[in-house]
Chain A
Amino acid sequence: MSRLEISGVHVAYGKGRRAAEIVAGVTLAVRPGQIVGLVGESGCGKSTLARAAVGLLRPSAGTVTFGGRPVTPLGHRARHVSLLPLQMVFQNPYACLSPRRRIGDQIGDGFRDDDGGSGGSGSRSHSRSRRAAELLELVGLPPSLRERYPHQMSGGQRQRAALAAALAPSPEVLVLDEPFASLDVSGQAQLARLLTDLSGELGVGMLLISHDLGIVKQIADELYVMYLGTIVEHGPTLELWRSARHPYTRALIAAIPHADGSGRIPEALAGDVGDPRTPPPGCRFHPRCPYSVEECETRPPPLTEVLPGRAAACWRHEDVAASADSPTTEEKPAGPSTGPITILKKEDR
């Protein structure tokens, strides 16, 4: 049974001719203990979807439910207590931690009253402090950091402290927006390991949003690939990685540079993510797609099951599956264009 269910969600900004549908019909679900990766280029609407998923934005259509209850923004009123186990970790830990309060106190804010200890207020505050220390240890920080202010910590420490604060109300589902973005290589690896442990040991479900497929594919159980507001492909991570059915998923995979010392330059994808105010007709990816045919320019492909548990939105997914590698493209102008397809290789060293 899924805890978090996002069903046919649309999010639109602006009115009239300036209206832009940033999220254009997304359906996905997160089960307990499951890490669901959501990847796509900047501007594809993944952060907007994250905000809709936790009730920070009202979808213009579709529903978000958490444990069967609707997740809706409540304006200035308090969030319903039943939504406490749905927590978000923001991209910028500086923006979600108060600069003027100690980390331990900020983590303590998240404890639910029923598990904050019993008896007098003195023992409650003592118990809160102890539990804040436990959470800091859980995310790999020394408990002494609870006396510190955010500016006294490094970027990696702040990201972990923000995670500890999100863990305080014992969440069942965490929505993480680009948690790796502000971290160095070793910090990214440490966080990846930590998230895997939290989902495995505490059974926390996660919606992990990132532009970095390289790291997400390492820990996510399932992947959703988003392009210009829509899901273009989803399925189990390993299957998607090995045999993607959508040309955009293939392009994302082919663009990742590997530190193998081979001197191979990854494949570029020509053009830019389109403008959500004027999305291309037909398949939204067709202006950048090496597989595009006439049909793609007029009819939007539905997200359909291509294999058990796997779906792709591509008229030519069978042709994509049949081709061994993604087509190699030469360096092209940065704007949309369709140049000849040739192979450009760096000379061997």
Chain B
Amino acid sequence: MTPVLEIRDLRVKMPTPRGHVTVVDGVDLTAEPESIAGIAGESGSGKTITMLAVLGLLPPDAIVEGSARLAGRELIGLPERELRAVRGRRMAMIFQDPLASLHPMLTIGRQLTDHMRAHLGLGRAKARARAVELLAEVRLPDPAGMLDRHPHEFSGGMRQRVAIAMALACEPEVIIGDEPTTALDVTVQAGILRLLDRLRRESGVTVVLVTHDLGVMSALADTLSVFYSGRVVETGTAGTVLRRPRHPYTAGLLAALPSPEAKVDQGVRPIPGTPPVPGDRPSGCAFHPRCPHGVDQCAVEVPAPVELDDRHRFACPPDPFAAGRTS
């Protein structure tokens, strides 16, 4: 199957007062049709910058190299005019804070229909009818009545449903969700997770899900790529990566999560130290100063990815978690 989204060797350098700093360093990522591709990592790991680069939303003085193809078509270096036709129409984005992507003074109906009239050329009545369908699709009660309301009249969970309806409006091939449930209560988050799962199955949209929350990844993602300091350190099916992590950073993140049981000793085992800031990345493997399994070569060589049969790849040649080894 041709991937819907294929990112190859993407590099991004962002401008800082001290010159350009590499924040994304050779990222590969593939999203198959109708799948949910997860991107995990802590803040500053480059996961959001990667997606903004794909959408052409970085500031003009950022340097972007490499390739990102949407259904075979190269996006990197595309003129702004053509990018505008891609954004919203063929790729849509859902942000952490839905208030930031909704206009506070305009009704929900106006915002949904403007979008469809601009991109799809629908007439006023048709756009309005489709807006009602979309709000029903994301399970908002009384969809027709919702159209005349303003964003502040909705709760956080309902706003995020509106933002998802807007993302779906033009039937995009790819929806990028950047921490779409992070600002929500867990009870509300679970509803949004169910919604995204159903949309993926029913409308066949591909979702790129960016979040630091590995619990959310476990619930939704088919594939999972773990970012650390601008590089993908481990990738594979979500089940494999979460159950049998091979990179010490993935293993460390999982051990740092609260265990499913309460009040157990060593319930959380923090990774020592802090993630590097962009521009101050350690030599060799960027994780080596925090890694309990490091060997001498880790501080010198950027680790080459080790590839296993089931498309499970990880950038840790010492492979401390290989079967048969005690870690």
| Residues of A bordering B, CB below 8 Å | 41-42, 154-157, 184-190, 192-193, 211-215, 217-221, 237-238, 240-242, 251-252, 254-270, 272, 330-335, 337, 344, 346, 349
Q: Which residue of A lies closest to B162 (CB)?
A: A334
Report if A257-B193 is in contact (Cβ < 8 Å); known contacts: A193-B270, A331-B198. yes
Q: Which residues of A contact B253 (CB under 8 A)?
A: 185-186
Report if A265-B258 is in contact (Cβ < 8 Å); known contacts: A331-B198, A333-B139, A334-B141. no
Cβ contact within 8 Å between B141 and A333: yes
Cβ contact within 8 Å between A332 and B218: no
Q: Provide the bound-state CA to CA distance between A258 and B214, in Å.
A: 8
The one of B189, B190, B242 that contacts A261, using a Cβ cutoff of 8 Å? B242
Q: Which residues of A contact B21 (CB under 8 A)?
A: none
Cβ contact within 8 Å between A259 and B190: no
Q: Provide the bound-state CA to CA distance between A63 and B258, in Å.
A: 35
Cβ contact within 8 Å between B222 and A349: yes
Within 8 Å of chain A (Cβ to Cβ): is B197? Answer: yes
Within 8 Å of chain A (Cβ to Cβ): is B1? Answer: no
| Residues of B bordering A, CB below 8 Å | 42-43, 139-142, 155-158, 161, 185-191, 193-195, 197-198, 212-220, 222, 237-243, 252-254, 256-264, 267-271, 274-275, 277
Q: Which residues of A contact B274 (CB under 8 A)?
A: 154, 156-157, 186-187
Cβ contact within 8 Å between A257 and B218: yes
Q: Which residues of B contact A242 (CB under 8 A)?
A: 262
- A contact patch SS: loop
9 A-B residue contacts at CB 8 Å?
A184-B43, A187-B274, A212-B186, A241-B263, A258-B215, A259-B215, A259-B257, A265-B194, A333-B141
Q: Provide the bound-state CA to CA distance between A30 and B142, in Å.
A: 45
- Which of B161, B191, B260, B261 has the most A CB atoms < 10 Å from its CB? B191
Q: Provide the bound-state CA to CA distance between A330 and B193, in Å.
A: 12
Cβ contact within 8 Å between B187 and A41: yes
Given A157-B274, A186-B274, A255-B189, output 9 extra A-B contacts at Cβ < 8 Å: A211-B186, A217-B263, A255-B187, A257-B213, A258-B260, A261-B238, A265-B193, A266-B189, A266-B219
Q: Which residues of B contact A212 (CB under 8 A)?
A: 186
The one of B155, B218, B220 that contacts A258, using a Cβ cutoff of 8 Å? B218
Q: Which residues of B contact A267 (CB under 8 A)?
A: 190
Report if A261-B241 is in contact (Cβ < 8 Å); known contacts: A186-B275, A268-B187, A268-B188. yes
Report if A218-B262 is in contact (Cβ < 8 Å); known contacts: A186-B271, A261-B241, A334-B157. yes
Q: Which residues of A contact B252 (CB under 8 A)?
A: 186
Cβ contact within 8 Å between A238 and B263: yes
